[in-house]
Amino acid sequence: MDWLDSIKWDSDGLVPVIAQEAGTGDVLMFAWMNREALALTAERGQAVYFSRSRQRLWHKGEESGHFQQVHEMRLDCDADVVLLKVTQLGHEPGIACHTGRHSCFYSRLEGDAAGRRWTPVEPVLQDPASIYKK
Amino acid sequence: MDWLDSIKWDSDGLVPVIAQEAGTGDVLMFAWMNREALALTAERGQAVYFSRSRQRLWHKGEESGHFQQVHEMRLDCDADVVLLKVTQLGHEPGIACHTGRHSCFYSRLEGDAAGRRWTPVEPVLQDPASIYKK
């Protein structure tokens, strides 16, 4: 069976994908791939996602230059989630988030039962205006 | 605004959740939460998911004893994915996968353009038959 046929694609033909930084173990982002995106990712060794908002392939870094080099691809026990081990290129430390931060998971839940809130706790490494020049 | 209202719940009222081991950085599993599951997770400090197959709350470890202690909860830039930093309890090293493996992401894509396949590369740490005694 083709390795792409092993995937349990959802009703939209997509699979969720987690990108984890190979060196640090940091979870950088979460996105989606369709069959073509997953095939291209394996072929090129760079992450190609499917943008649900734009309904088209999205070669991560195509606008920012912040490409993701893929070292390893993993599939979970239910064959419905993919994990990429990547190096986030284009800046040191890597910038995976469109806000100019290292990781998209920059908000932490703070507080206790009396009151909780999501609080940004990671710095902006580069002004998004200078990343997305168009 | 309530911290639960900040989440962009999908059309089924769910949000995808990544569980990452705090000590090692290993991505252990991927699951879903509804509003009640997320509230309970924060309240108890243990992961409570929503099982889509069983359509009910699923306190991780309720059958296996392999509970997940939650140290930190993160939200991504689009407010539609949650990341948990956990300690996987009940076995050393932790067993997060129903197959008795450490992580659900135990299959690696091997091969090249001539032929690729998903190959299990992580050991079974405990026989699932002895984990799920019922």
B5 among annotated binding-site residues: no
Structure tokens at A45: 């060794």
The sheet that has A14-21: what strands, in order across it?
Answer: A27-34, A14-21, A82-88, A68-75, B107-112, B115-120
Asked whether the predicted pLDDT for residue A134 surpasses 70, the reply is no
Give pLDDT, residue A132: 84
CB nearest to B3's CB, from A18, A97, A116: A116
- The highest-level CATH class for domain B3-121 is alpha beta
Other beta carbons within 10 Å of A79: 14
Cα–Cα dist A40/A25, whole Å: 24
Q: What does the CA dihedral B31, B37, B39, B42 come to, rounded to 10 degrees?
A: -50
- Contact between residue A118 and residue B6 where contact means Cβ atoms under 8 Å apart: yes
pLDDT digits (tens, 9 = 90+) for B28-72: 999 999 999 999 999 999 999 999 999 999 999 999 999 999 999
CB contact under 8 A, A24 and B29: no
Model pTM?
Answer: 0.97
Which chain A residues touch B74 with a CB distance below 8 Å? 105-109
B127 among annotated binding-site residues: no
